[in-house]
């Protein structure tokens, strides 16, 4: 094997320029793989971490996934063919029935914290500006157990909700849209026509754009007044010790109580779906770079094999076996792959270091002050494995042809 | 020498090259070469000399007939077994020297030894140096093949053919590209390999004058061996 390696290296060094180009192809593929993977996975993990940190892990809502059975269906059974006209559907009144009991039952489970809320659409008016927002009525004590709202406050406090009549806590971007800040009094109107004067007692910033631009918090009792739904709770927000298990937990809750229970994964399905597409785009781009690099390797190995036809004949006449010849040419491709891989690791490391040093503000799904980079040896291992596999495959095709060449055919042509 | 067991023997060997118009390269050849024999195969271009050599060297397989090496029918041997025989028991020399340009002269000669792996690196190098010295190339061991003249390169190729101490040496027009002085030198080497070291040597050449120095001559026409003008009577310089 050492002999094959020496021969491979010697032959490759005779084709220095082509070899260098092929190495650079692999280098770029591996380098960008590492850089893009660090950037994308960093961003995605950051988003998920923030979501888990800020949002409730499961929300039980006053909705049903399946339309409730209608009177006629109940009367005739599920298999009957019934046609009724002018039927009036039986609608559940909005709100979670027996919310207190459900909350108590959930709160008794180990590793689960519950906060009952009432959420609804309101308009906030300040001067000439009017902005639609989601008003969430909370109990500050319970809220502390299910989220980090208090930590995310940039102004004011949650306790001020108790102190100030009609106190309101706004998302930072929402406050900016209104031109409001702590102490501002604005008007709050519900969809049923109730209008209250409310005073901003706090501003929060979670970093998740959708929350910061559209959510306002008030005491549960005040929200019930504004939304004209006394004693109604339409959301139970749960926080779990194990956020990854939220999906299963939500399913179990829904099975038991019937109400639609959304895990954070479901609530953010659109963003998580975009992540999947992002990953697909990244891997196909990197794949394309490496395929091009593979063509470079194919090219250099085929050229060498073509030029070396006589040498192959002489090696065979000396007593080299097919697999010895195969090894010589396969190793040339692998040498290119290994060199490209190592240089690519260096390149990737440098790009990641450079991106890490950049500072800028950007607001997308979340607010960022630069690239969030995820550094892991896994990216190096994966890109390396991919590069070596590509190189081996690209070299294998011409190498096998060289190995199978009939020395007599070559000798007849040469002499 | 005829009483010795042949190193290599062809028995009714025919080689037909397939294709749109099949061509018979070698036709029903019977021959054998024993240790210590220096056999010259002559004949016009295209008479099948080289093809016969490839068959004897186990680089090619006959369409019909058998090639026996050391009494063993090679038809039953796989590619790896044939390669192993070539490596340990045979040495090839071609018209073009076919040295590997990436390797130095010494490494070219040591190559078959390293492939065989019987000698350690130092041992292989020492033996290669000895072979080069024997062929008058001791001073050129550290050079690259392209720094040598044609005759020198051909002698390096002979040194390489001798690397693993083969019993059979096969040469295809080894002097084809050499001036007459170099050609004589190369033929002297072959003659002494057979006469003094008891190796079997088969040389394909169309140089009748040089061929006369062989202990036996075979003349080929149209793929078949034809009776040639009585070979020089004298005889076996071998053994003794």
Whether A318 sits inside 8 A of B160 (CB atoms) is yes
Q: A216, A238, A267: which is the final residue of a domain? A: A267
**Same domain, yes or no: A235 and A382:** no
Which residues in chain A have Cβ-Cβ distances shorter than 8 Å to B50? 411-412, 415
Whether B145 contacts B132, CB under 8 Å? no
φ, ψ (nearest 5 deg) of residue B67: -115, 125
Answer yes or no: do A411 and B94 touch at CB < 8 A: yes
Would strands A215-219 and A167-171 be described as parallel, antiparallel, or unpaired? antiparallel
What pLDDT sits at residue B95? 81
Q: Is A320 on the interface with B (CB under 8 A)?
A: yes
Higher local confidence (pLDDT), A412 or A217: A217
| CATH fold for the domain made of B6-226 | Rossmann fold (3.40.50)
A227 and A283 fall within a common domain = no
Average pLDDT of the segment spanning A382-403: 89
Q: What is the mean pLDDT of chain B?
A: 86
Q: CB contact, 8 Å: A1 with chain B?
A: no
pLDDT tens-digit series, residues A11-29: 888 778 888 888 998 898 8
As a whole number of angstroms, the distance between CA A137 and CA A235 comes to 10
Q: Which residues of A touch B54 (CB under 8 A)?
A: 408, 411
**Contact status of A415 with chain B (Cβ, < 8 Å):** yes
pLDDT of A361-384, one tens digit each?
877 777 777 888 889 999 999 889
Q: Are A218 and A226 in contact (CB under 8 A)?
A: yes
Q: Please tell me if residue B60 touches chain A, with a CB cutoff of 8 Å.
A: yes
State whether A182 and A113 are in the same domain: yes
pLDDT band, very low/low/confident/very high, at A415 (cuts 50, 70, 90): very low
Determine, yes or no, domain membership for A399: yes
Residue with tokens 């390293």: B114
Kindly state the tokens that stand for B195: 């006469």
Residue A138 has pLDDT above 50, yes or no: yes
Q: Is the pLDDT of residue B140 over 70?
A: yes
Query: Does A81 map to a domain?
Result: no
| Residue-wise pLDDT tens digits, A178-237 | 999 889 999 999 888 889 999 999 999 988 888 899 999 999 999 999 998 888 899 999
Taking residues B110-121, report their average pLDDT. 88
If you average pLDDT over residues A133-154, what whole number do you get? 90
Is residue A111 situated within a structural domain?
yes
Cα(A305)–Cα(A18) distance, rounded to whole angstroms? 13
Taking the C-alpha atoms of residue B38 and residue A213, their distance in angstroms, rounded to an integer, is: 99
Examine the domain organization and report whether A278 and A401 are in the same domain.
Answer: yes
Range A85-98 average pLDDT: 72
Higher pLDDT among residues A412 and A326, named by residue: A326
**pLDDT greater than 80 at residue B233:** no
Residue B144 parent element (H or E): none
* Residue ranges in B90-232 assigned as alpha helix (H): 105-116, 121-134, 150-161, 180-195, 208-211
Look at strands B64-69 and B72-73 and give their pairing: antiparallel
The pLDDT, as a whole number, for residue B228 is: 64
Quick check: is A405 in a domain?
A: yes
Report the pLDDT value the prediction gives residue A414, as an integer from 0 to 100: 59
CB contact under 8 A, B92 and A316: no
Same structural domain for residues A111 and A194?
A: yes
Are A105 and A207 in the same domain? yes
> Last residue of a domain, which of A215, A233, A267?
A267
Q: Are residues A231 and A296 in the same domain?
A: no
Q: Which of A81, A62, A60 has the alpha carbon at shortest distance from A72? A: A81
Same domain for A237 and A310? Answer: no
Residues A175 and A314 in one domain: no
pLDDT tens, residue by residue, A328-340: 989 988 998 999 9
Rounded CA separation B25/B89 (Å): 26
pLDDT value at position B3? 54
The total number of structural domains that make up chain A: 2
Do residue A317 and residue B60 have CB atoms under 8 angstroms apart?
no
ipTM: 0.84
pLDDT band at A91 (very low <50, low <70, confident <90, very high): low
Domain coordinates in residue numbering, chain B = 6-226
Question: By C-alpha distance, which of A329, A319, A337, A384 is closest to A5?
Answer: A329
Q: What is the pLDDT of residues B4-40, one digit of tens each?
A: 678 899 999 999 988 788 888 999 999 999 999 999 9
Alpha carbon distance A375, A11 (integer Å): 37
Q: How confident is the model at residue A84 (pLDDT cuts 50, 70, 90)?
A: low
What pLDDT is attached to residue B240?
33
| Assigned domain for A73 exists | no
Average pLDDT for A172-178:
93
What's the confidence (pLDDT) of residue B1?
44
Q: Which of A267, A301, A332 is at the close of a domain?
A: A267
Is B56 touching A (CB cutoff 8 A)? no
Are residues A370 and A253 part of one domain?
no
| Cα B32 from Cα B4, distance rounded (Å) | 11
Same domain, A107 and A10: no
Shared domain for A160 and A260, answered yes or no, is: yes
Domain that holds residue A228: 56-66+92-267
Q: In which band, very low, low, confident or very high, does the pLDDT at B41 lie, cut at 50, 70 and 90? A: very high
Question: From the list A11, A311, A318, which residue is nearest B112 (CB)?
Answer: A318
Residues A23-79: tens digit of each pLDDT: 998 898 899 889 988 998 898 888 888 888 888 899 998 888 876 666 767 777 777
* Within-domain flag for A185: yes
- The fraction of chain A above a pLDDT of 90, given in percent, is 33
């Amino acid at each position: 094997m050492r002999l094959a390696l020496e021969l491979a290296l010697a032959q490759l060094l005779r084709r220095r320029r082509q070899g260098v180009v092929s190495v650079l192809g692999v280098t770029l593929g591996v380098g960008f793989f590492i850089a893009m993977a660090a950037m994308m996975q960093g961003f995605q993990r950051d988003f998920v971490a923030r979501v888990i940190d800020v949002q409730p892990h499961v929300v039980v809502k006053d909705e049903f996934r399946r339309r409730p059975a209608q009177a006629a269906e109940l009367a005739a059974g599920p298999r009957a063919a019934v046609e009724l006209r002018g039927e009036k559907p039986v609608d559940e009144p909005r709100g979670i029935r027996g919310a207190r009991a459900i909350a108590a039952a959930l709160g008794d489970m180990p590793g689960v914290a519950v906060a009952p809320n009432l959420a609804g659409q309101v308009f906030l008016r300040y001067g000439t500006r009017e902005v639609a927002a989601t008003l969430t009525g909370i109990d500050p004590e319970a809220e502390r157990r299910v989220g980090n709202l208090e930590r995310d406050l940039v102004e004011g406090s949650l306790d001020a909700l108790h102190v100030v009549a009609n106190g309101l806590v706004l998302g930072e971007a929402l406050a900016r849209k209104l031109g409001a800040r702590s102490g501002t009094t604005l008007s709050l109107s519900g969809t049923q026509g109730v209008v209250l004067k409310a005073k901003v007692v706090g501003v929060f910033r979670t970093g998740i754009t959708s929350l910061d631009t559209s959510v306002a918090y008030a005491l549960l009792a005040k929200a019930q007044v504004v939304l004209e739904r006394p004693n109604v709770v339409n959301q139970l927000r749960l926080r779990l010790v194990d956020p990854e298990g939220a999906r299963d937990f939500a399913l179990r809750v829904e099975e038991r109580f019937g109400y639609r229970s959304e895990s954070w994964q479901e609530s953010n399905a659109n963003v998580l779906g975009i992540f999947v597409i992002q990953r697909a785009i990244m891997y196909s781009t990197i794949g394309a770079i490496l395929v091009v690099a593979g063509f470079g390797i194919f090219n250099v190995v085929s050229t060498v094999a073509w030029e070396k036809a006589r040498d192959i004949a002489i090696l065979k006449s000396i007593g080299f076996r097919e697999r010895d010849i195969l090894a010589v040419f396969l190793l040339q491709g692998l040498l290119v792959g290994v060199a490209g891989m190592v240089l690519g690791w260096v390149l990737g490391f440098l790009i990641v270091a450079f991106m890490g040093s950049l500072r800028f503000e950007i607001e997308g799904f979340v607010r960022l002050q630069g690239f969030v980079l995820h550094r892991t040896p896994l990216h190096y291992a994966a890109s390396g494995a991919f590069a070596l596999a590509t190189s081996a495959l690209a070299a294998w095709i011409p190498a096998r042809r060289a190995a199978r060449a009939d020395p007599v055919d070559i000798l007849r042509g040469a002499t | 020498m005829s009483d010795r067991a042949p190193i290599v023997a062809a028995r009714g060997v025919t080689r037909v090259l397939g294709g749109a118009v099949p061509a018979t390269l070698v036709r029903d050849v019977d021959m054998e070469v024993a240790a210590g024999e220096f056999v010259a195969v002559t004949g016009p271009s295209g008479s099948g000399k080289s093809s016969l050599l490839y068959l004897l060297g186990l680089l090619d397989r006959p369409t019909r007939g058998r090639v026996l090496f050391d009494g063993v029918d090679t038809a039953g041997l796989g590619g790896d077994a044939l390669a192993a025989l070539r490596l340990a028991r045979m040495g090839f020399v071609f018209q073009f020297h076919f040295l590997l340009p990436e390797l130095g002269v010494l490494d070219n000669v040591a190559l078959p030894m390293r492939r065989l792996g019987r000698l350690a690196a130092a041992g292989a190098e020492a033996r290669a140096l000895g072979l080069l010295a024997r062929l008058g190339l001791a001073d050129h061991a550290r050079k690259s093949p392209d720094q040598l003249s044609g005759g020198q390169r051909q002698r390096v190729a002979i040194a390489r053919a001798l690397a693993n101490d083969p019993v059979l040496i096969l040469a295809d027009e080894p002097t084809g590209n050499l001036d007459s002085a170099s050609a004589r030198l190369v033929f002297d080497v072959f003659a002494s390999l057979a006469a003094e070291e008891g190796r079997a040597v088969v040389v394909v050449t169309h140089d009748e004058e040089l061929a006369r120095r062989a202990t036996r001559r075979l003349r080929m026409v149209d793929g078949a061996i034809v009776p040639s003008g009585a070979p020089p009577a004298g005889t076996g310089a071998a053994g003794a």
